[in-house]
Amino acid sequence: MMQRKITKEIHIGGVAVGGNAPIVVQSMTNTDTRDIETTVAQVNRLEEAGCEVIRVAVLDLEAARAIKHIRNQIHIPLIADIHFDHRLAVASIENGAQAIRINPGNIGGENKLRHVVDAAKAHNLPIRVGVNSGSVEKDILAKYGKPVPEALVESALRNVSLLEKQGFFEIKISIKSSDAMATVAAYRQLAEATEYPLHLGVTEAGGLIAGTVKSSVALGILLSEGIGDTIRISLTRDPVEEIRVAYELLRALHIRERGPELISCPTCGRCGINLFSLAEEVEKHIQNMTSPLKVAVMGCIVNGPGEAKEADIGVAGGKGTGIIFKKGTLYKKIPEKNLLTVFLSELDKVAREKALQQEEDKNTSLKEVPKV
């Protein structure tokens, strides 16, 4: 993996983006922002899953005014997503948005953009310049024929210059295509052309499988090359799934780890239990845990523990009985009918022990820091 490109550091509320800050995981609600209760409930579920910044759609002034009520009930920074109407951007800022996402070129002209910039300066918040393949300006499209990577980059830099012209530099940029490799090419060019932090994503990526694959290909390549400061996995699903995929991608790249890693075998003719169901139940159980465990769900008592010997705790099944193992060593045998219940209980114990050990290690390291 290449060394990460160091970009300008900005702040969305209390979350640092760019510079040496960790890659930030974010998502977007799919609720009606005007429905405050439902939106807050979804954001709270996203927080539990590890979402660090949330974006909401602002369709009208009612949605902009709802932001202040939403912010009072959530704990992560909120970005307002605006299209075309500068009044909605200003209203969102005045109602507590901690960043906004706009395309400066379609906000209504230089004078209207100035109102947005003045509000952002007054409230000390950044602006994300968001360009995608469907929003490239007509003259740029005419120049390139279609929204190729060069067109996306030219559009983004043009829109950034509109903000810089008004003395605004707290900027984050995204340029998204629904084509994974076009997205990669565009961000590579943009990373060479600017020092602003970059938000990575593939737009209109698709459902769980297609969206996960396309996003993982594009973002995996870019992150492995040191490009990117925040990410969103766009899926036509419950946005909580976006967070789960994002952290699995970061884990696979050895960039960030959050919560347990699930190891499970693909099954074969030796499998004597309903492994699909067992793995699914375990996956549901661990999704909101934060301790960095390795958890294995294996279908074969004979080979399972050996194949998953690095797991902190694992389970393997056979006909009528199953075993729980730790670091590849047999811990206890359990009747098959009780296997899931007992395993989840043991898993919780290991998670608590791991959390306590982490806290002890943290306290020890703090004590060892020499006093100045």
Query: For 27-81, how does the pLDDT look when each residue is reduced to its tens digit (9 = 90+)?
Result: 999 999 999 999 999 999 999 999 999 999 999 999 999 999 999 999 999 999 9
Q: What gap in Å lies between CA 126 and CA 11, rounded to an integer? A: 7
Q: Are 104 and 73 in contact (CB under 8 A)?
A: no
Flag the least confident range among 135-139, 171-175, 266-270: 266-270
Rounded Cα gap, residues 300 and 98, in angstroms: 51
324 SS3 class: strand
Quote the CA–CA distance of 189 and 277 in Å, as a whole number.
45
What does the pLDDT look like over 219-258, one tens digit per residue? Answer: 999 999 999 999 999 999 999 999 999 998 999 999 988 8
The model carries a pTM of: 0.85
What are φ and ψ of residue 11, in 5° steps? -135, 130
The pLDDT of 136-145, averaged and rounded, is 91
Query: Which structural domains are found in the chain, ordered by start?
Result: 10-252 (3.20.20.20), 261-366 (3.30.413.10)
Q: What is the pLDDT of residue 323?
A: 84
